């Protein structure tokens, strides 16, 4: 894997899903920190709300894919996932979850990724990196953002300009 693209809070928006897919190069992976589908509260009268189309495309998705349920996702819609997961990329142990910071985050975790707030954030504290990619669907601070992790750094990227807003080197 060359890059790990990080997002959260797509909320069933098919246009946002396509945007994320278009950011992926063949050697990239995708991590989604919850609320990909939003089948709990989603608005089926909105033409862009297409969780079923996203689900169907995942059956042939050719990238490394990491996903956890968010508070708006219904597990029965996309079974077999959990509310948090740990995985390793670029020799970094990553904790992926949706809600607020977990009460117990082991010290061997290098990067903590969370969604839920729709507000981007990237900080380093006590040797751990904390990332919230924000949202490309419904940002609460007016900036459409996503995360990018490679073998040297964690970054927050502004979708509109492609500019790195924050970078933390490993």
pLDDT tens sequence across 74-108: 999 999 999 999 999 999 999 999 986 565 677 89
Q: What is the pLDDT of residue 28?
A: 98
Q: Give me the phi and psi of 125, to 5 degrees please.
A: -140, 125
Q: What is the pLDDT of residue 65?
A: 98
Number of domains in the chain: 1
Q: Give me the phi and psi of 18, to 5 degrees please.
A: -65, -35
Q: What is the pLDDT of residue 104?
A: 61
Could you tell me which residues come within 8 angstroms of residue 18 by beta carbon, excluding any fewer than 6 positions away?
Answer: none
**Nearest CA-CA partner of 6 in 101, 121, 103:** 121
Containing structural domain, residue 95: 4-169
Residue 48 has, within 13 A of its CA and on its CB side, a CA count of 10
Q: What is the pLDDT of residue 62?
A: 95
Q: What is the pLDDT of residue 59?
A: 94
Q: What is the pLDDT of residue 103?
A: 55
Cα dist from 65 to 1, 58, 72, 89, whole Å? 11, 9, 19, 12
pTM, rounded to two decimals:
0.95
Q: What is the CATH number of the domain that holds 9?
A: 3.60.21.10
Residue 1 has, within 13 A of its CA and on its CB side, a CA count of 23
- The list of the chain residues with pLDDT below 70 reads 100-104
Q: What is the pLDDT of residue 99?
A: 85
Structure tokens at 163: 């500019």
**Can you tell me the distance from the alpha carbon of 148 to that of 5, in angstroms, rounded to the nearest whole number?**
5
């Amino acid at each position: 894997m060359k890059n790990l693209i990080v997002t959260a809070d797509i909320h069933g928006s098919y246009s946002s899903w396509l945007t994320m897919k278009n950011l992926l190069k063949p050697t990239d992976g995708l991590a989604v920190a919850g609320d990909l589908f939003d089948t709990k509260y989603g608005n089926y009268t909105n033409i862009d709300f297409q969780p079923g189309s996203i689900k169907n495309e995942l059956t042939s998705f050719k990238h490394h894919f990491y996903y956890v349920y968010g508070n708006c996702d219904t597990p029965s819609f996309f079974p077999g996932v959990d509310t948090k997961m740990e995985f390793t990329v670029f020799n970094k142990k990553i904790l992926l979850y949706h809600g607020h910071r977990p009460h117990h985050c082991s010290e061997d975790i290098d990067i903590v990724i969370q969604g839920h707030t729709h507000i981007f954030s990237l900080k380093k504290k006590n040797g751990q990196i904390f990332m919230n990619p924000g949202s490309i669907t419904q940002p609460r601070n007016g900036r459409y953002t996503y995360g990018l992790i490679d073998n040297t750094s964690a970054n927050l990227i502004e979708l509109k300009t492609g500019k790195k807003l924050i970078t933390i080197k490993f």
